[in-house]
């Protein structure tokens, strides 16, 4: 065996690669991530760059141009082992996500990150003899780009992150549809080119011109779409309206005078209820009227945003002002109650609870009625189950928002808004109210017991109460992509195709259920298949979504008019 092959074998037979199967096992069982699911690429690229920072400096102290190939093999070993082990684990734990969709993200996320991280290590080792200085250079490079991300999140409407060592990350706002936009592709091409520049400079110690040249695109980040400025969005949303307390930027020229008047009235009402100051400068309200435009400019599609630090709202339209606009305006107006850089309480239960206190209603039911229904649905729910940021995001969003809103509403009505100001500043719950949290919980639940909830109301709420927490759902990005493609379809054939894509990676799908469903279709038992699809919890959500648009769910008609399509997207599924 040649020395090169021996070294290659030694490079790939490292104990640290065992971290990859452990990660895959954790992702598959605990996080519920199937192979090449986009959720996995989010997390893995972050884990990956931490691993590379640690292990390459440990394994390679001084790298010469002659053996840089071994460093690249070592770095890409993590990537290859991830591919192998995630596929193996998915085989045993039943894959449910769409392979091709995740594969695109695998290429965009992991490969450029590995390449630039490895090139960065080679470059730093070639410039520094001391290992700790090399590591400092690597960490400094990573922090340098994180500072750009931090600035964008704090000062611009951008809600996503583009970082060379991590790739793309959606940021603090979680949307299920995550498209591959041209700016993302350009950024990853720049990442690969930057990695090549670092490698070439490592081989030619006195040549830094190429690296400095690669930094020049950072001067045109806005033009390349790496972030969006307020000025860019204001120019795109070219119809401007002014009121006493707000400036509205609208994509369409359709804001009515009574809507403008109601915005000012709502701002005054929220400030009065919270005992907060009226805004000294007009609040910027961006109204997009197009979810795809909103996604492109901010990184958030359907999520309404109230940014307390920037005193800005990002909305799809004003037709739902009575609930969501009130909610988002509360975040901005309550900023006067906080002194930290984010201008909000860091406990999301307090921040969102205050917004729900102002909103008051969810689907024509009060937040107290929803709280009673949730406490009936979730027996033995305690205050500690939702009244912290960590617990808040572990619950289904409806549960977290309604419970927090009801509890904050109780605190304000029972103890007054001044004490709530102290809580919003960040002080401890028990120190503010001078009683134990258990006592506050008992008093709140006693109040909730007085709220009337009829059986008819409760039954009508059950469908929403049954929703899973967002981070416990599988393959939500693949399903969202299928739904997006479905919306773009102009033919029934196209609609059927993406309907079955959504079926194939449904969040509650299991292999046995899918096999039974396809068996019914193969045997041409269409009525049974249709009944099964409409009643099974596995298919119900997706079936209901597409039912009225695909031959009214008529599988027999699909079978006879599009047999090849049915075979490709249903009968050939595992």
* Residue 360: burial class (beta carbons within 10 Å; 0-12, 13-18, 19+): middle
Q: Are 62 and 147 found together in one domain? A: yes
C-alpha–C-alpha distance, residues 72 and 475, integer Å:
32
Q: In this structure, what are the phi and psi dihedrals at residue 161, rounded to the nearest 5 degrees?
A: -125, 130
Evaluate whether residue 460 is within a structural domain. Answer: no
Q: In this structure, what are the phi and psi dihedrals at residue 365, rounded to the nearest 5 degrees?
A: -120, 140
Last residue of a domain, one of 189, 224, 259: 224
CA geometry: angle 320, 250, 184, nearest 5 deg: 100
Q: Are 31 and 159 found together in one domain? A: yes
Q: Are 220 and 258 found together in one domain? A: no
CA 485 to chain centre: 19
Evaluate whether residue 290 is within a structural domain. Answer: yes
Burial call 462-483: b when 16+ CB within 10 Å, e when fewer? eebbeeeeeeebbbbbbbbbbb
Neighbours of 236 (CB within 10 A): 15
Q: Are 562 and 519 found together in one domain? A: yes
What is the model's pLDDT at position 130?
72
Last residue of a domain, one of 421, 453, 485: 453
Evaluate whether residue 34 is within a structural domain. Answer: yes
Q: Are 449 and 537 found together in one domain? A: no
Evaluate whether residue 269 is within a structural domain. Answer: yes
For residue 544, the enclosing domain spans 476-571
Evaluate whether residue 466 is within a structural domain. Answer: no
Q: Are 210 and 325 found together in one domain? A: no
Q: Looking at the 3D structure of the chain, how many domains does it have?
A: 4
End-to-end CA distance of the chain: 42
Q: In this structure, what are the phi and psi dihedrals at residue 323, rounded to the nearest 5 degrees?
A: -115, -70
What is the model's pLDDT at position 463?
80
For residue 24 the two structure tokens come to 């895959």
CA 10 to chain centre: 39
C-alpha–C-alpha distance, residues 523 and 37, integer Å:
32
pLDDT for 270-279, tens place per residue? 999 999 999 9
Evaluate whether residue 158 is within a structural domain. Answer: yes
Q: Are 444 and 327 found together in one domain? A: no
Evaluate whether residue 331 is within a structural domain. Answer: yes
For residue 384 the two structure tokens come to 């500690």
pLDDT for 448-494, tens place per residue? 999 999 998 999 888 889 887 766 777 778 778 887 887 788 876 67
Neighbours of 389 (CB within 10 A): 15
Could you write out the DSSP letters of every residue in 371-433? HHHHHHHSTT--GGGTSSHHHHTTS-HHHHHHHHHHHHHHHHHHH-HHHHHHHHTT--HHHHH
What is the model's pLDDT at position 20?
85
For residue 257 the two structure tokens come to 């005078």
For residue 572 the two structure tokens come to 């050939």
Q: Are 212 and 244 found together in one domain? A: no
pLDDT for 187-208, tens place per residue? 999 999 999 999 988 877 667 7
C-alpha–C-alpha distance, residues 485 and 493, integer Å:
12
**How high is the mean pLDDT in each 10-residue block of the chain (574 residues)?**
52 74 78 72 81 78 63 87 83 69 87 92 80 83 93 92 90 79 93 93 78 88 90 96 96 90 94 96 95 90 91 85 84 95 95 96 93 94 92 91 97 97 95 96 97 91 82 75 82 69 55 49 59 50 42 48 44 38
Neighbours of 542 (CB within 10 A): 24
Q: Domain holding 246: CATH number? A: 3.30.2010
Q: Are 150 and 177 found together in one domain? A: yes
Q: Say which residues have a Cβ less than 8 Å from residue 526's Cβ, sequence separation at least 6.
A: 520, 554, 555, 556, 559
Evaluate whether residue 285 is within a structural domain. Answer: yes
**Inter-residue contact 117 to 75 (CB < 8 Å):** yes
pLDDT for 225-269, tens place per residue? 888 999 999 999 999 999 999 999 999 998 989 889 999 999 999
Last residue of a domain, one of 203, 224, 245: 224
C-alpha–C-alpha distance, residues 518 and 527, integer Å:
13
Q: Are 280 and 396 found together in one domain? A: no
What is the model's pLDDT at position 96?
61
Name which of 25, 144, 125 is nearest 75 in CA terms. 125
Q: Are 197 and 129 found together in one domain? A: yes
What is the model's pLDDT at position 537?
45
Q: Are 200 and 245 found together in one domain? A: no
Helices and strands in the chain: count of H runs, count of E runs? 29, 9
């Amino acid at each position: 065996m040649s020395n090169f092959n021996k070294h290659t074998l030694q490079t790939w037979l490292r104990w640290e690669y065992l971290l990859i199967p452990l990660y895959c096992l954790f992702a598959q069982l605990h996080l519920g991530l199937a192979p090449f699911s986009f959720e996995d690429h989010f997390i893995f690229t972050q884990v990956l760059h931490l691993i590379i920072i640690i292990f390459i400096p440990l394994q390679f102290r001084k790298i010469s141009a002659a053996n840089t190939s071994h460093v690249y093999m070592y770095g890409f070993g993590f990537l290859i082992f991830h591919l192998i082990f995630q596929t193996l684990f998915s085989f045993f734990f039943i894959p449910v996500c769409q392979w091709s969709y995740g594969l695109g993200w695998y290429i965009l996320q992991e490969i450029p990150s590995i390449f630039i991280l490895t090139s960065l290590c080679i470059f730093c080792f070639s410039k520094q003899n001391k290992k700790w200085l090399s590591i400092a250079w690597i960490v400094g490079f990573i922090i340098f780009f994180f500072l750009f991300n931090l600035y964008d999140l704090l000062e611009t409407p951008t809600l996503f992150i583009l970082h060379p060592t991590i790739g793309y990350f959606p940021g603090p706002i979680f949307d299920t549809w995550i498209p591959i936009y041209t700016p993302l592709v350009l950024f990853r091409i720049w990442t690969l080119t930057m990695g090549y520049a670092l490698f070439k400079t490592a081989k030619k110690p006195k040549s830094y011109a190429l690296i400095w040249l690669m930094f020049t695109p950072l001067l045109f980040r806005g033009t390349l779409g790496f972030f969006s400025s307020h000025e860019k969005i204001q120019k795109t949303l070219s119809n401007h309206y002014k009121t006493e307390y707000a400036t509205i930027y609208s994509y369409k020229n359709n804001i009515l005078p009574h809507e403008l008047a109601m915005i000012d009235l709502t701002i005054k009402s929220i400030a009065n209820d919270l005992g907060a100051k009226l805004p000294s400068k007009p609040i910027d309200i961006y109204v997009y009227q197009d979810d795809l435009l909103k996604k492109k400019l901010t990184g958030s599609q359907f999520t309404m945003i109230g940014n307390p630090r920037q005193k800005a709202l990002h909305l799809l339209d004003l037709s739902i002002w009575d609930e969501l606009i009130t909610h988002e305006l509360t975040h901005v107006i309550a900023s006067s109650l906080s002194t930290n850089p984010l201008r909000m309480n860091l406990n999301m239960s307090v921040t969102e609870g205050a917004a729900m206190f102002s909103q008051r209603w969810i689907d024509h039911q009060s937040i107290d009625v929803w709280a009673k229904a949730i406490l009936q649905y979730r027996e033995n729910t305690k205050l500690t189950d939702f009244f912290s940021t960590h617990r808040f995001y572990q619950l289904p969003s409806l549960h977290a928002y309604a419970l927090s809103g009801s509890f904050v509403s109780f605190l304000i009505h029972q103890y007054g808004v001044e004490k709530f100001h102290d809580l919003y500043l960040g002080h401890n719950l028990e120190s503010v109210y001078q009683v134990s949290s258990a006592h506050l919980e008992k008093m709140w639940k006693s109040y909730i017991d007085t709220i009337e909830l009829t059986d008819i109301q409760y039954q009508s709420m059950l469908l929403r109460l049954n929703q899973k927490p967002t981070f416990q759902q599988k393959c939500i990005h693949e399903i969202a992509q299928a739904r997006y493609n479905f919306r773009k379809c102009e033919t029934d054939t196209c609609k059927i195709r993406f309907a079955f894509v959504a079926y194939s990676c449904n969040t509650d799908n299991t292999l046995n259920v899918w096999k039974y469903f396809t068996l019914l279709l193969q045997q041409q038992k269409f009525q049974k298949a249709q009944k099964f699809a409409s009643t099974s919890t596995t298919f119900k959500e997706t079936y209901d979504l597409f039912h009225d648009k695909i031959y009214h769910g008529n599988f027999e008609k699909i079978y006879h008019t599009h047999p090849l399509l049915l075979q490709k997207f249903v009968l050939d599924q595992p």
